[in-house]
Structure 1
Amino acid sequence: MNKLNTKDRAKILSVLCEGMGINAASRVTGASKNTILKLLADAGEACAIYQDENHHNLKLKRIECDEICSFVGMKQKNVPEEMKGLFGIGDVYTWTAIDADTKLVPCWHVGTRDAGSANCFINDLASRLSNRVQLTSDGHKAYLNAVEDAFGANVDFAQLIKLYGNGGNAKDDTRYSPAECTGIEKRRIEGNPDFYYVSTSYVERQNLTMRMRRFTRLTNTFSKKLENHMHALSLYFMFYNYCKIHKSLRITPAMAAGLTDHVWELTDIVNLITEPEPKKRGPYKKKAD
């Protein structure tokens, strides 16, 4: 069976990390769509395992959290009645956290926008930190119990609530962008947060950076399968944390957080992929005449 060499794999991963869709990546690299999807799955799984194992005992100070919506398979309004409520079809939310100083994304979670996903995400975040942090989220009520359960009183938690011009309703089905923001309210929830640093600007900018083709609503490049959606996110966050030099820091977020001492190349990500062991063949037995 023909196998791509490390250089060709790195070239494919580079266009995927830049947000290119599978069909476009196939045209640019000359690789088949099945080959690209197989590489995406292998690299995404390897990146998820590596970051899960290494993002622990993080000495971060100011964490911002947010959720970003996308859809898998079809838009929520097109989901058949018998499939409504089935996770992985229709609306899917990616919960993200970012450190305001190092710009590291310590963890993320793909789920729904409910209390269950909030608990999974915040508990995962809390398990990766080694010290007390200041935490800021938007006004989503699911954060309240999730942060209380995960951190208790060992956190300085505040919410930044945006006020909108249409009576506070930013979820208008006739538009893809929120209504005009007319003001904000900073609300202390737990501990003693410094209101000067109560902000979600960095995580919202990170969500904008993360808007790969899979997040584009008016095209056919959306994720068809939840597994591929999650693989693409794992690959993207690995590239963002370890390979991409942040413009203001002049180093990668992983270097700023002390997780590595050098800028990773895409070949380093390729090398994370574990090759399957060859199947062992039994001894040859001659058939009886």
Structure 2
Amino acid sequence: MEPSKAFCPNSACCARGQIGADNIVIHDRKRQRYRCTRCRKTFSARKGTMLEGLRKPTELIVIVVTLLSYGCPLQAIVHAFGLDERTVASWRDRAGVHCQRVHQDVVETAQLDLEHVQADEIRVKGCKMVAWMGLAIMVKTRLWLAGTVSLTRDRALADRILQQVRRCAEPLKALLVLTDGWAAYPGSIKRAFREKVKDTPGRGRARLCLWPDLHIGTVIKRTQKKRVVEVTRTMSHGSQEEAERLLQQSQGGSVLNTAFIERLNATMRQRLATLTRKCRQGARRLRPLETGMYLLGTTYNLCWPHHELCKLTHEGRVCTPAMAAGLTDHIWSVSELLHYKVAPTPWVEPKRRGRQKKDAQTPVPVRKQPSNRALVRLRKGVLCSATG
């Protein structure tokens, strides 16, 4: 147990999320519990990880999650380890939720110079339903940037994908976004990559302006008898010359293409059992699709070395997409991923509302001056005492 690397997860504590603040001490070594000296609350050493509250051996959980991330069907794991099917499904969902938090903490806060991004969607045939999974990738480092699941292929799906990409990007950098011929993409890209500009001083609403170096390309493929017979490449926004320069700079080919996102789609279909065509593991709900997508995408970014990046034309060493993007310095293990803790936002003292109280001053005693008023008065011919 290392108290120096732990933080208080209590949302009401003034020292929450602070690492190295000397407010965490060991409360119980046998039960693996810490205690915060500020709020006096105790918490488990597994708090904030995927393993919180689980009593099965950690090694077994790591093996099961590793098999799930490689696309092993849930029924095969049940028969191999003698587990209940609901237990394995619960571990898959917990791992997916945890990987989503890790992705938001590691990738979406990185502010990367993306240069070249490709986006596409996958049609998912489930049990009595059809869903759509949208994905986006950074071409230069093969980093998976965004993913979302929806029952409909509409503008909201494209907006969610591009908003996630926007959170990963460094503002106002040159960017090329390539998509297929879906008409919703150009508008969603323009709504995502714009900044507030205040033209006039004083009060008034700011104007939303597109990034000056934003370029949007569209690649439309026409097939005949399941073979591509024609490819149409157009620029929806920006210049063709600048787009070709960004293609060469990111090593994304010589012409506009969507080959890299299509390769990621194939990886998703291979390793996510519910996406396999003509199978008996069809999804019945959106929740398993989303958690499985984040589990596979996060392990793809952090845990699995990428074959193309290991070549001398790219990094020239064994590395993952996260290492190529500068987010990590080593290959993560699945156990390290499941033990990763996402620190909550630091506590901020709430602002006081209403008027500020004036400094209380000690009242100075005032000596009452003697009054010259008469003590008695005449009422109806009788002297009566006068009330002060």
Could you tell me the TM-score, scaled by structure 2's length?
Answer: 0.61
Question: Does residue 191 of the first structure (1) align with residue 238 of the second (2)?
Answer: yes
Instruction: Name the structure where strand makes up a greater proportion of residues.
Output: 2
Task: Tell me the distance in 2 between the aligned counterparts of 1:253 and 1:197.
Answer: 23
Question: Take 1:220 and 1:272, find their aligned partners in 2: how far apart are those partners?
Answer: 33
How much does 1:126 deviate?
1.6
| Residues 16-59 of structure 1 deviation map (CA, whole Å, 9 limit, x = unaligned) | 01111211121233322122111111111110011012223022
CA distance in structure 2 between the partners assigned to 1:29 and 1:135 by the alignment: 45
1:125 aligns with 2:193: no
Structure 1 unaligned blocks of 5 or more: 75-89, 167-178, 275-289
RMSD value over aligned CA atoms? 1.9
Indicate the SS of the match to 2:144. Answer: coil
Which amino acid in 1 is paired with 2:165?
L
Q: 1:272 to 1:40 in 2, by over 3 A?
A: farther
Letter paired with 1:94: M
* DSSP 3-state at the match of 1:186: strand
Counting only pairs closer than 5 Å after superposition, residues 264-283 of structure 1 correspond to structure 2 as 264-272=332-340
Counterpart of 1:98 in structure 2 is 137
Shift of the 184–7 alpha-carbon distance from structure 1 to 2, 3 Å rule, reads same
Report the CA distance between 1:147 and its aligned residue.
Answer: 1.1
Is 1:215 equivalent to 2:257 in the alignment?
no
> How far, CA to CA, are the matches of 2:279 and 2:223 in structure 1?
28
AA aligned opposite 1:115 = R
How many angstroms does 1:2 deviate by? 7.4
Distance in 1 (CA, whole Å) between partners of 2:86 and 2:341 is: 17
2:258 maps to which of 190, 196, 200: 200
| Partner residue in 2 for 1:227 | 287
Name stretches of at least 5 consecutive residues in structure 2 with no aligned partner. Answer: 1-52, 195-209, 248-253, 311-318, 343-388
More divergent stretch after superposition (41-50 vs 190-199): 190-199
Count of aligned residue pairs for this structure pair: 247
For the residue of structure 1 that corresponds to 2:220, the secondary structure is strand
More helix by share: 1
Q: Secondary structure at the match of 1:116?
A: helix
Q: Using CA pairs below 8 Å that are at least 6 residues apart, which structure has the higher relative contact order?
A: 1
Q: Distance in 2 between matches of 1:2 and 1:110?
A: 28
Note the 1:61-210 alignment, pairs <5 A: 61-74=115-128, 90-111=129-150, 112-130=152-170, 131-152=173-194, 153-154=210-211, 155-165=214-224, 179-192=226-239, 193-194=243-244, 196-210=254-268
What is the DSSP-based 3-state SS (H/G/I as helix, E as strand, rest coil) of the residue aligned with 1:70? strand
Deviation (angstroms), 1:269: 2.2
